[in-house]
Amino acid sequence: MSMTDLLNAEDIKKAVGAFSATDSFDHKKFFQMVGLKKKSVDDVKKVFHILDKDKSGFIEEDELGFILKGFSPDARDLSAKETKMLMAAGDKDGDGKIGVDEFSTLVAES
């Protein structure tokens, strides 16, 4: 399954483009722009599994830095600052990684 099976390719392109500048990433706006906020919990979980590149059941900090590439291969990497901010927003239990339920909550709070 690819991201465009779940989300509109044009929405992804616009969202990735809107945050092309370093340190401009805002996960709340991004999730709204790609249409993730309007998706069912099941679809949000499918997106999580696409982003979980090593299939560990978690999005670790190193994977989080490449989150935009999970939506569009030619997107930029997040800066260290953006990655830390996103981890802080999503890692509710403080274990240093984001699980599927934490990701679902992160999207729902957007």
CATH number at residue 99: 1.10.238.10
Give the pLDDT band (50/70/90) at residue 110: confident
Q: Is 42 annotated as a binding residue?
A: no
* CA pair distance 82, 27, nearest whole angstrom: 9
Measure Cα distances from 92 to 30, 66, 76, 86, 99 in Å: 20, 20, 26, 11, 9
Q: Is 56 annotated as a binding residue?
A: yes
Q: Is 97 annotated as a binding residue?
A: yes
Tell me the pLDDT tens digit for each residue of 66-106.
999 999 999 999 999 999 999 999 999 999 999 999 999 99
* 3-state secondary structure (DSSP) of residue 57: coil
* H helix intervals, the chain: 3-6, 9-18, 27-33, 41-51, 61-64, 67-71, 80-90, 100-108
Q: Is 26 annotated as a binding residue?
A: no
pLDDT at 22 exceeding the cut of 90? yes
> Residue 103 is part of which domain span?
3-109
Q: What's the total number of domains in the chain?
A: 1
Q: Is 61 annotated as a binding residue?
A: no
Q: Is 93 annotated as a binding residue?
A: yes
CB 86 within 8 A of CB 110: no
Q: Is 91 annotated as a binding residue?
A: yes
